[in-house]
Amino acid sequence: MLKGKLKFIIAIIIIAGTISYLVFSGVKDTMVYYLTIDELQAKVPEVYGERVRVSGIVVPGTIIKDKNGNIEFRITDGENNIDVKYSGIIPDIFADDVEAVVEGNYSQQNVFNADVLLAKCPTKYESDEKLYESHKESS
């Protein structure tokens, strides 16, 4: 009877350990940090060619779209700017003055070649009452 309980306890410990390892390694792989523009520029030249994420505000008037769907724009942290080239699906909320997170490689020409573009939703929303009043006035 004691041997059966011991085998059961050992099996539970092994299973719990395996699950803990898988959860920890999965979370570790999916945790992605991003750099500010200042942090990125401070890491030059070591950062050239490395895959990184950078966050910044899209500078108004810098978004240029070509006929193939590629875009070029500039992001800023308020003091520093970097130029970004991106090819792919453009988020609906991507526009001037939106916080964007780009993932890709920073080139020696000081251009960020992004293959992932995320636009953060604005945190300032009008209250339901204001929306109701503006809708009521327009009716």
The pLDDT-based confidence of 122 (bands split at 50, 70, 90) is low
CATH code, domain carrying 70: 2.40.50.140
27 with 41, same domain: the answer is no
| 51-58/111-119 β-pairing | unpaired
CB-CB neighbours of 49 under 10 Å: 11
47 with 113, same domain: the answer is yes
Q: pLDDT tens-digit profile of 71-103? A: 999 999 989 999 999 998 899 899 999 999 999
20 with 2, same domain: the answer is yes
Domain that holds residue 17: 1-31
25 with 63, same domain: the answer is no
Give a yes or no: residue 1 inside a domain.
yes
Q: pLDDT tens-digit profile of 95-117? A: 999 999 999 999 999 899 999 99
63 with 98, same domain: the answer is yes
56 with 108, same domain: the answer is yes
Give a yes or no: residue 91 inside a domain.
yes
**Count of domains in the chain?**
2
Full-model pTM: 0.64
Handedness of CA 11, 14, 16, 18 (dihedral sign): negative
Q: pLDDT tens-digit profile of 16-61? A: 998 888 887 766 555 557 788 998 889 888 888 888 899 999 999 9
